[in-house]
Structure 1
Amino acid sequence: MKKTFVLFALLLIAQIKAQEAAPFVMTEDWLSKIQSLAPAPSGTQGLEIKNLLIFSLHTGFEHWTIPHTEAVVQIIAEKSEGFKVFTSKDISVFEKSNLKKYDAIVLNNNCSIGPKRDLFWDALDKDSSLSEKAKTKKAKQLENNLLNYVKKGHGLMVVHGGIVMQNNSQAFSEMVGGSFDYHPKQQAIHIKLVDLEHPMVQCFDPSGFIHIDEPYFFKNAYFDYNFRPLLYLEADKLDGLKKEVPDNIKYISWIKKYGKGRVFYSSPSHNAQSLENPDLLQYYLNGLHYITGSLDCDDSPIGRNQIGSKKAKSSR
């Protein structure tokens, strides 16, 4: 098994390097491939169609995979026959009157600019007619609209850099489950399953999977462990750590309640090539079903008394 993982990792690395040399264009053939790999409809037909918004604005670091991720989430959502999908890069969608139109929101790699790390403020800063005070007030209002939207019972899925959207906001961090700290270089990661029996992860092989990605590390609310972890990596297996890691187990995907709402965070994936993994596509779909209430599963937080190195059932 270990030899298989190594060979697969080498193939993935070669693929990533080859496609870094030439831009990875989102072609119709690639989208057709994703369409064929996406999960077939099952189990949710006949349920109420949910309105899903994919929000893809970035003001800071631009993940090249933003359009790919948006297209892939749209494909798996629509193919499931459980969602009507809308897309936007306009912060006006976070006005209360507009939020009412959607059952759930996907935050797609919405990196903000430092040092404020406030995407709403970044977008408003382009309006020269607004004073600094007005920008700050409006940005806070839009953030509160999002927090209250989820708290009152709606769904939120956060993909990779979407966690950076309001990275200096403790309230946003508590809702999402953490804030972005840093990441070492892209590399092959052996991603493992926290609980083999959890419905969210049964799409994966019990031994986990090899994945090329930026291994995200987190801060702020992350260390409250106010979530139910699903996937993890082992820090001592990584290259390029910036600082000493007291806890070797690092969770990179989780689910959680926020008020009456549901949140799903997935750090995988930074690369569109990784989305050709049908298991990962199924995982994303599981997340969509979770946040919209059609997948019931254990989302109880593990809490501070169960630090990351303690796991009851995990892949090895």
Structure 2
Amino acid sequence: MREKLSDTDASDRNAQTRHRRGGREDMAVPPAEFRSYYGRQILKTPVWNWMIAAYLFSGGLSAGSAMLAAGADLTGRTELRRVSRLGALASLLASMYFLIGDLGRPERFHHMLRVAKPSSPMSMGTWILGGYGPGAGVAALAELMPRRLRRTRLGRLLTWAARPAGLEAAAVAPGVASYTAVLLSQTAVPAWHEAHPYLPFVFTGSAAASGAGLGMLAAPVSQSGPARRMAVAGAALEVAASRTMEQRLGLAGEAYTTGRPHTLRRWSEILTVGGAVGAVVSGDRRWAVAASGAALLAGSALQRFGVFEAGVASTKDPKYVVVPQRERLAARQNTAAPV
């Protein structure tokens, strides 16, 4: 019995003994392995529903329309300016509706304005919208004002303030277009978090393409030149950033290239590229310009829904969490290993 106890004690001491390897001390205990319990889901699936994906799209559409409206205003294209300003306000209101509607207590939405926290993308996004909304609203109200009111003192003041307000909204619009990408990438969702270097470019290009698509769809063909050029630039940025993201994400990229997210994003790319090509070759044919604009709008919406679905899918498969953890652990061990 004594011999058995001494053998047991000796084995325990050996297991706890530190020994030197390559000039450094290591525990004899084997390294921990990161694995999912019976392959079960590790992260909770986001409780957000389709309204958040619609919020991502409508916010981008508003930002793209505001930028296009400012350019149309400075170049004297009144109809394109009117369409874009009204589109910016309408899509902003829709975006706020989708965002507030998804809150657990929608009546308390104003609590988001109680603090300004630079480390919180949600807090900063709320204040970005707060700085963007008044300018977009004043510019749109000037377009909605009846002619008989333009001669009044209030009408003259609103008309005078429309251009500065529109330019202010256009200056903040890139932040509105891209902050939602930062918001997604700061979560623990693997497909969103790993894509943080690329999502802002995808969302900004998508916003520009959608704003241009609205201008092509609703404005006269004679004034659609800036919208067409913006459509080509936005579509090129969106597609290039999207393809780069898929190729460089590694394992997390599978969430974007398989299943429903892959289908949504492939159709998005087809419609976006088709709309951009149509913007170049449609000429003065009204139906072709309008169809190209509608394709750009649909492509932008599908891009946002595809990104949203990819994030949801990546939380359901534990490999998107476990495998990157093992790779980071192996990289740290290789870095710490002696030469």
TM-score by length of 1: 0.28
Larger relative helix fraction: 2
TM-score between both structures, scaled by the size of structure 2: 0.27
